[in-house]
Amino acid sequence: MVISLKKILIIEDDESIHNVIEELLKKEHYDTYNAYSGTEALLLLEKEKYDLILLDLMLPEVRGEERRL
């Protein structure tokens, strides 16, 4: 059984790390969506569903381990 993960949300506040992850995923033809803070991630999650979320636990404002994203 093959699982197709197309929409990936990257939640990472460090721009250089974020860019590396995004570049690698785009090379593999994934659709990437970006959030740079916990607050921004929560807003995106209210509007859209994602197949996979890559979450930095040490985010500004709303930390990854403080609240379910």
DSSP letters for 2-35: -----EEEEE-S-HHHHHHHHHHHHHTT-EEEEE
**51 within a domain of the structure (yes/no):** yes
**2 within a domain of the structure (yes/no):** no
Q: Percent of the chain beyond pLDDT 70? A: 80
Instruction: Measure CA 45 to chain center.
Output: 10
**64 within a domain of the structure (yes/no):** no
The mean pLDDT of 32-61, rounded to a whole number, is 91
The mean pLDDT of 15-44, rounded to a whole number, is 94
**62 within a domain of the structure (yes/no):** no
CATH number, domain with residue 41: 3.40.50
Q: Which domain holds residue 29?
A: 7-55
The model's pTM is 0.81
**42 within a domain of the structure (yes/no):** yes
Per-residue exposure over 34-63, b if at least 16 CB sit within 10 Å of its own CB, e if not: bbbbbebbbebbeeeebeebeebeebeeee
**63 within a domain of the structure (yes/no):** no
**16 within a domain of the structure (yes/no):** yes
Q: Percent of the chain beyond pLDDT 90? A: 62
Q: What is the pLDDT of residues 7-28, one digit of tens each?
A: 999 999 999 999 999 999 999 9
pLDDT of residue 69: 45
